[in-house]
Chains A and B, each alone.
Chain A
């Protein structure tokens, strides 16, 4: 059919447009970070690295960065342990209330983040941990856990049970099956969920904004508050550094590789 080729071409043009639309804000943030004037303007006036040196000299951003890494790292650890164990239970065991518990575990995804933040704020006040990194980790764990459960259980459900049976027949003990048969098969999916959990926490603002105290902000909140007041390319320089780190990590882990669990899939049912 001659029409077929033409339609496919049209679809690919459309896809290219969407890809440019998706990439545009990030691309122009990077471009803006090298501009040598203090306001955003296109085309850039000239090349300069002054915003990078001002970021690296600013203790506020550097400290907030370390704080965010600690929070996101702890959140990742907590959600990976809780998420993997829960996924095992949900995929490998039949028990009453299995469907219900999965649905409940996934609800934070569709709950307005601002409501999660406010609840965590009240909780932090009552537990007397307001302003602490612990309170932020707890809140971020609620937000990131559903993604880990969704991705890890998709990976577990896709395993070939015959391999485990074969290993058992050959005399492997349960821990050995876990480490030598199951783990290698879901390694990539787990790495992807860990990166995803880390990033969910690292970039969280909607909820975190209610949990931080002035002078103890996470980087994302610090950037949000900065952007509320100023709009010079300092924020573009911070963003570019973050984007560079993110893209490096994401390409190593292979997030977005077709076949690895994609967030949001399987949540609808």
Chain B
């Protein structure tokens, strides 16, 4: 019975996700010579990919960008979740959660356009900064890494906030009360009780945010305006140039990096499992 119920999902995931994935990666073992794909097994594409300084740069920039934005999102996301869980009024709670939900319900294209409008030379941010005398000429905030990072943090923040918020919500208030009864001040309570008990939420948040960031394409493409070359964008350009072997190698490398990080974080998460008993 259980197997029958699982069947539709299994067909979708295995038939249209896992199997085709291998069908695509297979091209990584072919080569691309003079605009044609040569379908004989070879490691040439791998060798060429890993020795090409352009692709090395895209990889380094993607990793740097993902680490940087994950760091910012972690700090902002944690305090947002913390503050959100302190809100008592249901009306405010609803407004806050709908706003935090926005990037999940509004198209990434719309959000990217919004950031282009906000951060452009004639946009509101520059307008205000000029009027307030903070700067004397419009600052360049789009078509560079800055714009890409702002929009990435914005579009993926919910994936950081919701797991942390849920972990914080599961902590029994009695634990915090007893800590303060025993004379711990708010900082000690936070560091010794709240933070450790929410770490598994933090780890899920990092997992989701980081991997989504590594694979993001629309936001860096539009905000970077062709000047910020990340792996996903390079894959897109390879595909357009019909260079499937290169795209397959890049996609494989991206997947290996993400999976490696996920497994590492899983091990880390297991170390915090002993705290589960306290919930």
Contacts and interface: CB of A to CB of B under 8 A. Distances in A.
A14 B109 CA distance: 27
A111 interface: yes
Interface string B95-110: 1111111111111111
Contacts of A1: 186
A167 B196 CA distance: 42
A189 interface: no
Contact of B107 (A40, A86, A203, A269): A203
Contacts of B203: 268
A170 interface: no
Interface string A1-40: 1011001100110110011011111101100100000011
A178 interface: no
B116 interface: yes
B117 A40 contact: yes
Interface in B99-133: 99-118, 120, 122-124, 127
B185 to A, nearest CB: 9
Determine the main DSSP class of A at the interface with B: helix
Contacts of A159: none
Contacts, number: 298
Q: Which range holds the interface residue count of chain A?
A: 35 or more
Given A220-B109, A243-B110, A15 B166 contact: no
Interface residues of B, number: 99
A8 B163 CA distance: 22
Contacts of B9: 82-83, 85-86, 105, 145, 149
28 contacts: A1-B186, A8-B86, A11-B79, A14-B79, A14-B80, A15-B96, A19-B100, A25-B154, A28-B123, A29-B110, A40-B120, A42-B122, A79-B12, A86-B6, A86-B10, A115-B24, A119-B24, A122-B20, A122-B27, A138-B12, A145-B9, A203-B109, A209-B236, A224-B218, A228-B222, A235-B113, A255-B101, A256-B101
Interface of B: 1-3, 5-13, 16-21, 23-24, 27, 76, 79-80, 82-84, 86-87, 90, 93-118, 120, 122-124, 127, 151, 154, 157-159, 162-163, 165-166, 186, 200-201, 203-205, 207-208, 211-212, 214-218, 221-222, 232, 235-236, 239, 247-248, 251, 254-255, 258, 262, 269
